[in-house]
Amino acid sequence: MWAIIGNARRAGRAWLTEPEAKAALAAYGIPVVSTQTAPGIDEAVEQATRIGYPVALKILSPDITHKSAAGGVALDLADAPAVRSAASAMLERIRQHAPEARVEGFSVQAMVRHGDGFELIIGAVTDPVFGPALLFGHGGVNTERIGDHAVALPPLDTLLAQDLVSRTRIGRLLEGCHEHPGVDADGLLNVLVQVSRLVCDIPEIDELDINPLLASATGIIALDARIAIKAPAPGLHPRLAIQPYPDALEERVEQNGRAIVLRPVRPADEAAYRAYFRQLTAEDIHARYFCTFREPEHSQLARLTQIDYAREMAFIATTTDARGETSILGEVRAVADPDNVQAEFGIAVRSDCQGQGLGKLLLDKLIRYARATGIGALVGCTMPHNRAMLTLARSCGFKTDIAASSDGVSLHLALHKENASVRTRR
């Protein structure tokens, strides 16, 4: 992958060739139709014969990125004379409509029948403010005219990819209807996640376009692809608007003979969070959120699980049973102010898991994280009758004060000496 990018940059090219773009996608496990290159008409015929008819023929030029619009695509060529005729006509069209374009030959690929498949588009562009942004929608030559697409910010996981698909009209058809079978949903979501990984991992990618991406019940395959590259922007500012999941913060511990994972929350935890709330008593929900509610709605769960790790952190304690199902035992969360002077925190442990030291594990984890990231102080608030919270906070070094003009108790832990005298009351 890096060799492909490096070769293109050394050649002074702003775009990868189609075979190079497909090789980049294949390196990330994205299915692509096999594509061969040919420097001339005779070689194109040889490649087509080797691949087997019918074939698709495309112009190979660093100056032509929209090949269909330039007359640089010929489909469903049934034999060698058809390839030879299409190649000659293609060169003539290019000479007339783009005389200055450099032509390096042709790309030849097996013709893939659409059948019951859908033509989709997956794209990526780099916004000067938000960084990479992903696009999904109805593909094919009429994609711009149809205008059915949705946009999301990477990184994506399976849940976020599914949400992106669901926000398009064609997304409803992909599940299948009437006589039309549904597409390989897992394969499609995997392609979206892998494209997200690709644009996150490779800062040189400025623009990416897979169109069409053919999706059917039998699989997903990229028929055409374009990738634009440029030198990464200098500086230390984060390239991504939303930071990727911080794997390095995962921690495994043993407690009372049980294996527990302390880790940041992620979007895929929504179902486990719903089950977690079902196992909290009304009293524990009120102690944590200062209100009562039944079962949280999807929008609330999304807010709890889809966080920006650069501005907020939530650690959960999880365990996995023999069936491989993950359960959340407790959580601790902190949201810092823009200047990192202090972060407000909250903590809760599942009602049937209290009194086992989980709260101490979680709060110690948060304190270590906050101190390492330069947060000046952790602050919170609890009720005077919440003896368990007051005991836990004091055991971790928090100062407790009766909050002015309220019945609450403020909690404050200075993480650096310069913050030792700073107190925040609520």
pLDDT of 241 higher than 50: yes
In this prediction, residue 237 carries a pLDDT of 52
Query: The domain spanning residue 181 has which CATH number?
Result: 3.30.470.20
403 in the same domain as 283:
yes
pLDDT range class, residue 46, cuts 50, 70, 90:
very high
Domain for residue 59, yes or no?
yes
Q: Domain count of the chain?
A: 3
Domain stop point among 182, 201, 229? 229
Query: The domain spanning residue 105 has which CATH number?
Result: 3.30.1490.20
Domain for residue 151, yes or no?
yes
380 in the same domain as 308:
yes
Domain for residue 209, yes or no?
yes
In this prediction, residue 280 carries a pLDDT of 87
Burial label, 185 (beta-carbon count in 10 A; 0-12, 13-18, 19+): middle
In this prediction, residue 67 carries a pLDDT of 87
Query: The domain spanning residue 321 has which CATH number?
Result: 3.40.630.30
In this prediction, residue 186 carries a pLDDT of 94
pLDDT of 326 higher than 80: yes
357: left (phi over 0), alpha (psi -120 to 50) or beta: left
pLDDT range class, residue 171, cuts 50, 70, 90:
very high
pLDDT range class, residue 406, cuts 50, 70, 90:
low
Closest CA to 223 of 56, 386, 355, 67: 56
pLDDT of 238 higher than 80: no
269 in the same domain as 187:
no
Counting residues of the chain whose pLDDT is more than 70, the rounded percentage is 95
Domain for residue 376, yes or no?
yes
Counting residues of the chain whose pLDDT is more than 90, the rounded percentage is 58
Q: Are 165 and 192 in contact (CB under 8 A)?
A: yes
Domain that holds residue 379: 265-419
How far, in Å, CA of 408 to CA of 426, rounded? 8
194 in the same domain as 124:
yes
Domain stop point among 168, 202, 229? 229
pLDDT digits (tens, 9 = 90+) for 67-105: 888 899 999 999 999 999 999 999 999 998 888 888 999
Question: Among 167-181, 224-238, 389-403, which is the least confidently predicted range?
Answer: 224-238
Q: How many CB atoms lie within 10 A of CB 201?
A: 12
415 in the same domain as 277:
yes
86 in the same domain as 140:
no
In this prediction, residue 420 carries a pLDDT of 46
Domain stop point among 48, 77, 110? 110
pLDDT range class, residue 235, cuts 50, 70, 90:
low
324 in the same domain as 295:
yes
165 in the same domain as 96:
no
140 in the same domain as 89:
no
In this prediction, residue 290 carries a pLDDT of 74
pLDDT of 423 higher than 50: no
278 in the same domain as 190:
no
Decide which of 240 and 250 is more confident.
Answer: 250
Domain for residue 24, yes or no?
no
In this prediction, residue 425 carries a pLDDT of 36
Give the mean model confidence (pLDDT) for residues 95-118.
87
Strand order of the β-sheet with 409-414 is 251-255, 258-264, 312-320, 326-336, 343-349, 377-382, 409-414, 399-402
pLDDT of 125 higher than 90: yes
How far, in Å, CA of 367 to CA of 371, rounded? 6
pLDDT range class, residue 321, cuts 50, 70, 90:
confident
CA dihedral 78, 82, 87, 92 (to 10 degrees): -140
Domain for residue 363, yes or no?
yes
Give the mean model confidence (pLDDT) for residues 119-137.
92
pLDDT of 197 higher than 90: yes
In this prediction, residue 232 carries a pLDDT of 76
Domain for residue 295, yes or no?
yes
In this prediction, residue 69 carries a pLDDT of 83
180: left (phi over 0), alpha (psi -120 to 50) or beta: beta
Domain for residue 135, yes or no?
yes
122 in the same domain as 63:
no
Q: Report the predicted TM-score, pTM, of the whole model to 2 decimal places.
A: 0.77
pLDDT of 236 higher than 70: no
In this prediction, residue 421 carries a pLDDT of 45
DSSP 147-186: --EEEEPSP--HHHHHHHHHTSHHHHHTT-BTTBPPP-HH
Give the mean model confidence (pLDDT) for residues 249-278.
91
In this prediction, residue 284 carries a pLDDT of 85
- Phi and psi of 305, rounded to 5°? -105, -25
393 in the same domain as 304:
yes
pLDDT of 244 higher than 80: yes
In this prediction, residue 417 carries a pLDDT of 63
Question: Among 69-78, 158-167, 281-290, which is the least confidently predicted range?
Answer: 281-290
* Residue indicated by tokens 């190979």: 60
In this prediction, residue 418 carries a pLDDT of 55
